[in-house]
């Protein structure tokens, strides 16, 4: 067979590109186990990459805890100023906390701030007890709510996301990026979650004898990526680094989820880029305001993967929509939280 020079050139380019494509795929696989970006108002999938992978969400679990507590607040079963007396079990839950002490008393609202800003496991456990009657009853409410929303790949086993004592993945809280996107849509459309998740810094327990705990939000995209105002981070050894983020620009909001990143810096860089690509992928805005569509499970689309993403470089300004150049993103060294 005789090849023309042009054909030989094309073949050579293809063969040279094959290792590069393989390297890109490897880089994407290392960035996270699964990810998805959706438009908040419609649920339209803008990007997805292994979005149905089932994995522990770590402290992102607390988003469902927030939703169930909000349901109880809406029903009038509890109030924001309802006093919560801390038990010994809650004071000794471990992990990230605001160091609640047995018999201390705090209102529900302060514990909500502690759970969403500090990712406090002790606060989440105390809220679950007061809202559900017991931790076990509250977890049942979490799973019932997940079923109601159509989160078919989700099973909750705790209100905080800590792994079980045996560290078994199969016995941990489990969900998928797609299911978390569904949960985030419900929170954004029907709760005041942004009141809590957008706060970058706040003191907890100003009247305590030992002084307050200075809470700093674990979501490092706040103040660094334009429009980001929530929602929740998570990390355990079994889950890796997870983030359910949301951002609003020019009246339009997207949700970006990544689960199972190897470290915090990688997670934050890639979620930041997913946000930029998500806004770039939004369809043209409708000519007149339209009502948000009812929250329903996020359906798979024919989009099989997100575009290639550089492993450790800031988001390129050209990826942002016009009139919305993102700030240069620089993150401190990885720190597990």
| Whether 326 contacts 269, CB under 8 Å | no
CB atoms within 10 A of CB 22: 10
Is the N-terminal amide bond of 231 cis, ω within 30° of 0?
A: yes
Task: List the catalytic residue out of 41, 55, 59, 198.
Answer: 59
Asked about 305 being catalytic, the answer comes back as: no
| Whether 310 contacts 57, CB under 8 Å | no
CB atoms within 10 A of CB 324: 14
Closest residue by Cα to residue 87 from 51, 127, 30: 127
Give the integer Cα–Cα distance in Å for 240 and 333.
Answer: 16
Half-sphere exposure of 125 (CA within 13 A, CB side): 23
What is the signed CA dihedral for 10, 13, 18, 19, rounded to 10 degrees?
170
Asked about 197 being catalytic, the answer comes back as: no
Task: List the catalytic residue out of 41, 55, 72, 119.
Answer: 119
Task: List the catalytic residue out of 33, 41, 55, 62.
Answer: 62
Please tell me what DSSP assigns to residue 35: E
- Angle 144-147-148 (CA atoms, 0-180°, nearest 5)? 85
Euclidean distance between the first and final Cα of the chain, in Å? 61
Give the integer Cα–Cα distance in Å for 226 and 315.
Answer: 12
CB atoms within 10 A of CB 206: 9
| Whether 275 contacts 229, CB under 8 Å | no
Burial (CB < 10 A; 0-12, 13-18, 19+), residue 255, is buried
Asked about 147 being catalytic, the answer comes back as: no
Tokens of 9: 């050139």
Bridge pairing between strands 240-249 and 105-107 = unpaired
Catalogue the active-site residues.
59, 62, 119
């Amino acid at each position: 067979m005789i090849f023309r020079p042009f054909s030989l050139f094309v073949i050579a380019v293809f063969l040279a590109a094959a290792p590069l494509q393989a390297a890109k795929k490897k880089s994407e696989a290392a960035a996270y186990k699964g990810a998805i970006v959706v438009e908040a108002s419609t649920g339209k999938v803008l990007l997805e990459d292994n979005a149905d992978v089932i994995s522990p969400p770590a402290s992102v679990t607390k988003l469902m805890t927030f939703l169930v507590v909000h349901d109880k607040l809406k029903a009038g079963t509890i109030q924001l100023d309802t006093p919560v007396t801390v038990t010994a079990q809650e004071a000794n839950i471990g992990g990230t906390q605001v160091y609640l002490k047995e018999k201390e008393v705090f209102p529900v609202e302060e514990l909500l701030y502690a759970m969403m800003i500090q990712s406090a496991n002790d606060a989440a456990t105390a809220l679950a007890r007061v809202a559900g009657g017991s931790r076990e009853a509250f977890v049942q409410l979490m799973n019932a709510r997940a079923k109601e929303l159509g989160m078919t790949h989700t099973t909750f086993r705790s209100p905080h996301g800590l792994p079980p004592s045996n560290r078994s993945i199969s016995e941990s809280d489990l969900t998928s990026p797609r299911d978390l996107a569904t949960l985030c849509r419900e929170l954004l459309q029907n709760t005041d979650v942004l009141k809590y998740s957008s706060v970058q810094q706040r003191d907890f327990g100003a009247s305590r004898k030992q002084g307050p705990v200075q809470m700093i939000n674990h979501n490092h995209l706040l103040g660094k990526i334009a429009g980001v105002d929530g929602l929740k981070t998570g990390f355990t050894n079994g889950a890796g680094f997870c983030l359910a983020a949301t951002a609003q620009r020019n009246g339009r909001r997207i949700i970006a989820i990544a689960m199972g990143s190897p470290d915090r810096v990688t997670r934050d860089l890639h979620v930041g880029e997913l946000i930029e690509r998500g806004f770039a992928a939004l369809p043209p805005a409708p000519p007149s305001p339209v009502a948000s569509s009812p929250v329903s499970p996020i359906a798979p689309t024919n989009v099989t993967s997100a575009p290639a993403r550089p492993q450790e470089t800031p988001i390129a300004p050209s990826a942002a929509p016009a009139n919305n150049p993102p700030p240069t993103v620089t993150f401190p060294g990885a720190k597990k939280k």
